[in-house]
Structure 1
Amino acid sequence: MTSLFDPVQAGSLQLANRIVMAPLTRNRSPNAIPTPLVAEYYAQRASAGLLITEATAISPQGQGYADVPGLYGTEQLDGWKRVTSAVHAAGGKIVVQMWHVGRISHVDLQPGGQAPVAPSAITAKSKTYLVKDGKGQFAETSQPRALLAEELPGIVESYRHAARNAIEAGFDGVEVHAANGYLLDQFLKRGANQRTDDFGGSIENRARLLLEVMRAVSGEIGGGRTALRISPVTPANDIHDPDPQPLFEYVVRALGPLGLAYVHVVEGATGGPRVLEDRPFDYPALKAAYRDAGGQAAWMVNNGFTKALAEQAVRHGDDLVAFGKPFISNPDLVRRLRENAPLNPADQATFYGGGAEGYTDYPALAA
């Protein structure tokens, strides 16, 4: 019987166990540069089968929150090299989550104070995180402008270039962030995409940008080092589609031939209920559609998993289970799950911004 603690192959990645640290934004990278403290934080958690970094902007335009890291400048990449070296020295594997926030941004965070970009000029009823006078604060997102069709090849190129940067910085692979109401999810879903060109309207058109990105990234670094995160029904960041089942089944079928490392699926509302009465979704059918299209990637599930739910998921054929908040306060979460040890409670007041407190100072079990 397969267990959480058995090894698994995910594309080119040989993982020691099936427990994954989910991406968790922590806002501790001033000027988008990961600090030595960031390296310590990830190395502490290297017993996970796989670490997925916090979402990391592929370009200055892709930035949507203060003090989140980037993947486009020399100093940022040098910071990430410290992180990947520390994780590998601790015996871990790490991929970077590549991010373009689209409309979930603020003019104060955009180059030259320009408007954020989006598929359509529809403001999200959401908030972002700014730092002013040394203090973090949440602010309403700014009115975006609609991307021109001729700008989209440049977006694809930014993803491709960021993927190459990631490998050069020592990452074992990349995860393309197409979930939680950010740019690629905005193109997918009709609540944010009201375009009338080749990137709007039909399912095929709305999925076009995502699939172009996935082909570019996998073509650049290899499918076995490329992964994707999706969240079919989450309402995060004011995102919605009236008929997500055929949309996401189309997407995963198109991914089948790419030989990806894994597909990461957020079940239900990100950070909220696993089942939404007003947004039903058939996750087994999604997985079946992917397998029917020849997709062999590891299947990763996420959102509110306990040890019991995770064990059940693995028994029923899911390959990997991502844990989010428990990894914040339990650097040795894998050991705690294995030994059924109690978990440290997390201090939500220290989730975003700050220094070591609530970041690298949570205790591990005694040796």
Structure 2
Amino acid sequence: MKNIAIMGSGGWGIALAILLHNNGHNVTIWSYSESECKDINENHKNTEYLPDIDIPKGVKATNDYAALLTESDIIVVAIPSSYLRQSLELFKDFIRPDQEIINVAKGLEKETLKTLSQVIEEILPNNQVAVLSGPSHAEEVARKIPTTCAASSKSKAAAVVVQDLFMSDYFRVYTNPDLVGVELGGALKNVIALAAGASDGLGYGDNTKAALMTRGIAEISRLGIAMGADFHTFNGLSGVGDLIVTCTSMHSRNRRAGILLGKGKSLEETLDEVHMVVEGVHTAQAALAFAKEYKVEMPIVEKINQVLFEGKDAHTAVKELMLRHKKGEHLSYDLMTEEFIEWKMK
């Protein structure tokens, strides 16, 4: 049995706390909100994020991060990307080098063009860092609906620790050595989900969504390959798998936000109505910055940024995507067989 700190009390943090408790570990959730801690400790609920889920009595909550971090063996970071750096700066003096850090949030830091594991490594250079990612809505994991994710790290041993901690009869974990690919797939699918939601909000059909998802994974793969990721990762849980679940489910706050944008709501109105962190909004700017840095063409990401931050009408953005210059369907010459390259060059 391990003493595990869950740093973050949103839906995903709660779902994983329940999972780890069910796996026999001693789990405590940190929340900055005293009222939220009281709700968890006294009512065994997180009324704001997972109101229909009962939290086991053995799962506790605290807003004393110093004591919690000092007493824990493993630290699970479930903090939105936009708050990660400032939170770690608060935590770092209470974290020991022997504590493994497991990041379960998805996103990128646009100011530094770093993945979240890189942000953690910068602030906690002496700690082993791993990530858990994949198609996993908190609402379903909390209800023990079968789910499969991927664990990754620079260290195989650290990834296996994650696998051993989280594996259960309803939560299967694979290891994957491609840390960059796993993180990029988990982060960028939220941006494509905004586009898929906007398509729904505009009243378009399955054809449109299939096109956005397929060309979206092509954009994600292009950037990933440019950054040194393994192409095959994007055919797996952290690529196509996470993209499918986020673009098609009403559990997805990114898709819900996209629907509102497609219906003509402003970004401010959209965020007010969703009333939760919409990671795709924060990641969209970072994705565009990454695309420029690595000189990768990402037209869907570009149009989503224009809709979010430049006031472009979603219907116009779709038309502009459809009328882009003609081209062949491929990802990279590096991925093609010699026969295919010969065909293309004729």
Same-fold call, TM > 0.5? no
- TM-score between the two structures when normalised by the length of structure 1: 0.27
Relative contact order, CA 8 A, sep 6+: which one is greater? 1
Choose 1 or 2 for highest CA Rg: 2
